[in-house]
Amino acid sequence: MAISLLENERLDDLQRNGLKIIQKTDGFCFGMDAVLLSGFARVNPGERTLDLGTGTGIIPLLLSAKTKGEYFAGLEIQMKIAKMAARSVALNGLEEKIEIIQGDIKEAGKRFKAASFDVVTTNPPYMNDAHGLKNPMEEKAVARHEILCTLEDVIREGAGVLKPGGRMYMVHRPHRLAELMGLLSKYRMEPKRLKFVHPYVDKAANMVLIEAVRGGGAWLKLEAPIIVYKEPGVYTDEIYEIYGY
């Protein structure tokens, strides 16, 4: 389907199944964290997935190419970004498989039926109001800081729409891991897999990937870490594999 780009938009090749995505030239664009999350998440054949705070729609798009999931929904509060994500879905002819919905994460439980999804994915804002300087551009600020929702909002609403035994996949920052674990426990989400991401083999982790199961038993697997760079500007083989190059 032909899609006309609007002012300050560009078309990027996702290197997966011929997929392309529309992004702003001067706004928030998806990063490596979203790509790593799409490689970490497991979606089985026939499963239904909800991406909370989908932004450009990158995670539903990648998961539709990497898995045999039946249906992917992306919830995004910012109207302009949601419309852009929906145009990317249409551009790739995936309207029957992916649905972009404009709405508030804090009201996901009202928008969707309880226990209606097998999988929830989310790449939420990393910084709360006490962390860092906010970007003056609203789109970037909302994506990076807990302006419109908190980490607890994301976990509470994600848990509510998951089926018993359903799985939540999240990427976040290690400095908030203790808080994250406490909130998962509060909403009966049992951590099952945890993987740290390090920029270099001798550097501290700057991301963490987590899988939690609704109502699962207590058993956590700490997986081998991901190392992003062999040397400055050169990705490791694992990163090339995740990106699909």
Cα separation, 63 vs 54, whole angstroms: 12
Calculate what percentage of the chain has a pLDDT beyond 70: 90
Mean pLDDT, range 157-184, rounded to an integer: 97
For 128, list phi and psi in degrees, rounded to 5: -85, -175
Residues near 50 by Cβ (< 8 Å), separated by ≥ 6? Answer: 72, 73, 74, 75, 108, 112, 117, 119, 120, 121, 158, 161
Calculate what percentage of the chain has a pLDDT beyond 90: 80
Does pLDDT of 127 surpass 70?
A: no
Residue whose structure tokens are 């439980």: 109
Confidence category of residue 1, pLDDT binned at 50, 70, 90: low
Does pLDDT of 245 surpass 70?
A: no
Which pLDDT belongs to residue 129?
A: 55
Which pLDDT belongs to residue 143?
A: 46
- Residue (of 3, 124, 15) closest to 61 by Cα position: 15
- Residue (of 142, 136, 169) closest to 66 by Cα position: 169
Which pLDDT belongs to residue 134?
A: 46
Confidence category of residue 17, pLDDT binned at 50, 70, 90: confident
Confidence category of residue 243, pLDDT binned at 50, 70, 90: confident
Cα separation, 218 vs 134, whole angstroms: 37
Confidence category of residue 147, pLDDT binned at 50, 70, 90: low
Which pLDDT belongs to residue 135?
A: 46
Does pLDDT of 152 surpass 50?
A: yes
The residue with greater pLDDT, 145 or 104, is 104
Which pLDDT belongs to residue 194?
A: 98
Q: Tell me the average pLDDT of the chain.
A: 91
**Other residues' Cβ atoms within 10 Å of the Cβ of residue 190:** 16
Confidence category of residue 28, pLDDT binned at 50, 70, 90: confident
Cα separation, 180 vs 98, whole angstroms: 28
The residue with greater pLDDT, 148 or 188, is 188
- Classify residue 231 as exposed, middle or buried by CB count within 10 Å of its CB (0-12, 13-18, 19+): exposed
- Residue (of 39, 2, 28) closest to 197 by Cα position: 39
73 beta partners? 50, 99
**How confident is the model over 30-86, as pLDDT tens digits?**
999 999 999 999 999 999 999 999 999 999 999 999 999 999 999 999 999 999 999
Give Dmax (Cα) for the chain: 50
* Extents of the domains making up the chain: 9-243
Cα separation, 173 vs 209, whole angstroms: 9
9-243 is a CATH 3.40.50.300 domain: no
